[in-house]
Structure 1
Amino acid sequence: MTAVSDMNTPRQTLNVGFRPDGLATRLRRRYFRTPANALISLLGMAALLYLAYHALDWAVLKAVWSSPDGTSAVCRDIAGACWAVIQQRWRIIIFGLFPYDEQWRSMLACVVMVVTIVLSCLPWFWKPLRLSILWCAGFIIFYVLMRGGLFGMRAVMPADWGGLTLTVFLYAAGVLIGMPMAIAMALLRRSEMPLVSRMTGALIDGVRSLPLVTILFTAALIFPFVLPDWLQGDKIWRVIIGFALFFAAYQAEIIRSGIQSIPVGQEEAAKALGLSYWQRTGRIMLPQAFRNALPPTINQLVITFKETSLIVIIGFFDILASGNAAYGTGEWSFAYFEVYIFVALVYFVFVFSLSRYGAYLERRMRFGQH
């Protein structure tokens, strides 16, 4: 018993007096270690409090939130924000040119697409068959709701779609079509056949050297002059294909970088085991490539969502163009700042959600490595 007690004594002695650092200790160590650090921290906090107070005073305390008579008279002589423009014009921002009495269809279609995106992020749907069924069902329901012509719904052409619904649809369709294209381009560029590899590299470099506006303009306005009538399709689908091609060119290089980061010995070992090309690619190379290239992939998805605002150049009313129309009348022309803040908040919600999901995937895959 004495020997056991003596052996435990040092461990107990080491634990005596151990206390985790509290919040005050961490703040003092991080921001007030020296007099210079303390001065800079105090000045920074004072500046932040000053800006936060004035922003809160303008956006909340002195703001006007509604207009009982539906006019902008209540916002003429105020010192704060005029959020009444959002209360009166939010339908234009969210639905664009969609017919007023059919806007419930646009709202429901937007919800369907967002729910489809959210469900596809759940691990249970990470099976090819389940994911394919989910996205096919989501796109069919979305298109039926927006286009109409069935179940007693009035037909609405894609030229009259707009707002947040159109932005979400273009983004989802571009990524859904562009990701398989990117995988194919990345694999073709690594092909052992020089002609295939060089032609794919020329296509990728050619698309990446062009601005997205040029590709969208060509898809929307130039292709109808060079394609036969049966191959033209609707303008929105040509724009989606151009959008997907631009996304695929950049994403292909991201995937290729992920493949190149895999040690060469893994592929050689797979060949020695007798695995075929598709078994090596689908079970060994691509899963590791996506894991290695996850941060730039999330970054590319965020950039792609923000680039949907460029479709206004070719005549589509996305959420940013709809926001311009919301304050474009003489009645609310002074409230452009509030409209842009509202649109920015919508973009922030989507982009921040994408970034947080990317962080979740990184943690999940890092845990899987251990």
Structure 2
Amino acid sequence: MAQHQFQPDLPPPANTVGAVGWLRKNLFNGPVNSAVTVVLGYLAISFVWYVFDWAILKADWVGTTRDACSREGACWVFISVRWEQFMYGFYPQAELWRPRLFYATLAIFVALLAYERTPKRLWIWLFFVNIYPFIAAALLYGGVFGLEVVDTHKWGGLLVTLIIALVGIIVSLPIGIALALGRRSEMPIIRSICTVYIEVWRGVPLITVLFMASVMLPLFFSEGVETDKLIRALIGVIMFSAAYMAEVIRGGLQAIPKGQYEAADALGLTYWKKMGLIVLPQALKITIPSIVNTFIGLFKDTSLVLIIGMFDVLGIGQAANTDPEWLGFATESYVFVALVFWVFCFGMSRYSIWLENKLHTGHKR
């Protein structure tokens, strides 16, 4: 008796796999869904084409005056004429090499720290956090090594946005960690102080904090002591952001299983070793998305410094819109500013996703 031989499996139908299968399953799996897909697709394509036509095909790119904008599309000549103000504010023309050098060195440090295989990356990070800010401040402000003093009221544009965002992000993280640990402390006084601080600052709008930092903070210093407006804004942003960061970190601490704390205690570790070696590394890894989300919010909130007389990249755009020679090009200004914010925020978002996947060890669901 001949044995039965199984025939090899046939490949699935072509219309059920690949791009065609995905479209049939998700977009065209019924009359109603097919009609909605067609209508929404038409609207989306029409909108994208209109934007592309306005921003690229019919746009004016070359020129130095308003007369160069003679077509129906966007006038990017307006942005090119105001480029230095968007980047550096009102920094003196002869000293522009200093903020340019700051941008270049900052980009180099970010690239070195983002690349996983950079040798001595820990030492580079320590230098970037502890020493580089003072070098950058001396470079931009001057007054040392023969550099001309450039007061901070002349700074502006992307320069101010990056300085406030970087200082706020770097300084608020360790303060937030300390506040989160203090709020979970077993010492009532420490816990109460941290709780009051967090709840007070989280209950006050950032715009109010900036007003207080600009107007009321000098009242707490001795007579004759003047505080730079940028320093006051930085203090307000740091104190405000640290409160939100503390709650993010506290959420990560509460997510760590109780057994991790008990295992560390069973090993005889001190409180600081338990937190530094066992608990905090796990908590920070879990809260990476929330931490980066707070960073992104802080980066966008830097535009609020306009209310205290500082011109960030958005403030420069609004000031440029009031120029009588360039009235009518506010759309190009706001689109450019939005693109700048999107590039930085999207970059932070993608890096956080990469870092989260790299550190994934089983907590991700």
Q: What is the CA distance between 1:128 and its match in structure 2?
A: 5.7
The 3-state SS of whatever aligns with 2:360 is: helix
Q: Is the 8 A contact 1:110 1:142 kept in 2?
A: no
* 1:162 Cα deviation after fit: 1.0
Alignment of 1:148-159 (within 5 A): 148-159=142-153
What displacement does 1:116 show?
Answer: 2.9
User: Out of 81, 84, 95, which is 2:88 matched to?
Assistant: 95
Equivalent in the alignment of 1:3:
none
Contact kept, 8 Å, 1:215 with 1:242, in 2: the verdict is yes
Alignment pair present for 1:278 and 2:302: no
Checking the alignment, whether the CA contact within 8 Å between 1:298 and 1:358 is kept in structure 2 is yes
The two structures have a TM-score, normalised by structure 1, of 0.90
| Contact 1:94/1:322 (8 A) holds in 2 | no
Q: Cα deviation per residue 1:324-344 (whole Å; 9 max; x = unaligned)? A: 222321001211110111111
Determine the C-alpha separation between the residues in 1 that align with 2:43 and 2:159. 39
- Return the offset for 1:285: 0.8
Shift of 1:266: 1.1
Q: Which amino acid aligns with 1:323?
A: G
- Name the residue aligned to 2:302: 308
Quote the residue 1:225 is aligned against. 219
Match of 2:340 in 1: 346
The Cα shift of 1:123 comes to 4.0
The answer as to whether partners of 1:148 and 1:156 remain within 8 angstroms in 2 is: yes
Give, in whole Å, the separation in 2 of the partners of 1:230 and 1:119: 43
User: What secondary structure does 1:334 align onto?
Assistant: coil
Contact 2:78/2:329 (<8 A) preserved: yes
- 1:235 alignment partner in structure 2: 229
Q: One-letter code of the match for 1:358?
A: S
CA contact (8 A) 1:170 1:308 kept: yes
The question of whether the paired residues in 2 share the 8 Å contact of 1:327 and 1:334 is answered with yes
Q: Is the 8 A contact 2:314 2:337 kept in 1?
A: yes
Q: Following the alignment from structure 2 to structure 1, what is the Cα–Cα distance between the partners of residues 210 and 125?
A: 28
Question: Are residues 95 and 130 of structure 1, via their aligned partners in 2, closer, same or farther at CA, if it must alter by over 3 Å?
Answer: closer
Q: Could you tell me which residue of structure 2 aligns to residue 174 of structure 1?
A: 168
User: d(CA) in 2 for partners of 1:114 and 1:127?
Assistant: 15
Q: In 2, are the aligned partners of 1:113 and 1:142 still within 8 Å (CA)?
A: no
**Paired residue for 1:136?**
130
Mapped partners of 1:337, 1:347: distance in 2: 15
- Letter of the 2:333 partner, please give it: V
Which residues in structure 2 correspond to 1:178-327 (within 5 Å)? 178-229=172-223, 233-327=227-321
Deviation (angstroms), 1:226 = 2.6
Amino acid at match of 1:33: N
Q: Are residue 40 (structure 1) and residue 36 (structure 2) matched?
A: yes
TM-fit CA distance, 1:234 = 2.6
Structure 1 residues 185 and 325 mapped into 2: Cα distance closer, same or farther (>3 Å)?
A: same
Displacement of 1:270 in angstroms is 1.0
Name which of 31, 46, 53 aligns with 1:50: 46
Indicate whether 1:85 and 2:81 are aligned: no
Distance in 2 separating the partners of 1:306 and 1:83: 24
Of 315, 319, 322, the match for 1:328 = 322
Write the distance in 1 (CA, Å) between the matches of 2:202 and 2:75. Answer: 42
Cα shift readout 1:148-199 (whole Å, capped 9, x = no counterpart): 2334432111221111011101111111111111011001111101121012
Gaps of 5+ in 1: 1-5
2:92 & 2:296 partners in 1: Cα distance? Answer: 30
Q: SS state of the match for residue 65, structure 1?
A: coil
Please give the secondary structure, in 2, of the residue aligned with 1:24. Answer: helix
Check 1:279–1:184 CA distance in 2 against 1; reply closer, same or farther (3 A cut).
Answer: same
Amino acid at match of 2:96: Q
> Residue 338 of structure 1 aligns to which amino acid in structure 2?
E
Match of 2:104 in 1: 111
Q: Residues 26, 108 of structure 1: CA spacing in aligned structure 2 closer, same or farther, 3 A cutoff?
A: same
Q: Displacement, 1:26?
A: 1.6
CA distance in 1 between counterparts of 2:146 and 2:225 reads: 29
Instruction: Specify whether residues 247 and 122 from structure 1 end up closer, same or farther in structure 2 by C-alpha distance, changes over 3 A only.
Output: farther
% identical equivalent positions = 37
Cα shift readout 1:184-215 (whole Å, capped 9, x = no counterpart): 10011111011210121011100111111111
Shift of 1:104: 2.1
- Equivalent pairs counted in the alignment come to 359
CA distance in structure 2 between the aligned counterparts of 1:144 and 1:300, rounded to whole angstroms:
29
Q: What CA deviation, in whole Å up to 9, does each residue of 1:101-148 have, x standing for no partner?
A: 212211221232343344333446797654221223431332122112
1:18-54 deviations in Å (ceiling 9; x for gaps): 6992222222222111122211111111111111222
SS at match of 1:78: coil
What CA distance in whole angstroms lies between the structure 2 residues aligned with 1:71 and 1:127? 47
Matched, 1:63 2:59: yes
Can you give the 5+ residue segments of structure 2 that lack an aligned partner in the other structure?
Answer: none
Cα 1:367–1:272, aligned 2, differ >3 Å: closer, same or farther?
closer
In the alignment, the residues of structure 2 paired with residue 200 and residue 128 of structure 1 have an alpha-carbon distance, to the nearest angstrom, of: 30
Assess if the C-alpha contact under 8 Å between 2:113 and 2:124 holds in 1: no
- In structure 2, the partner of 1:121 is 114
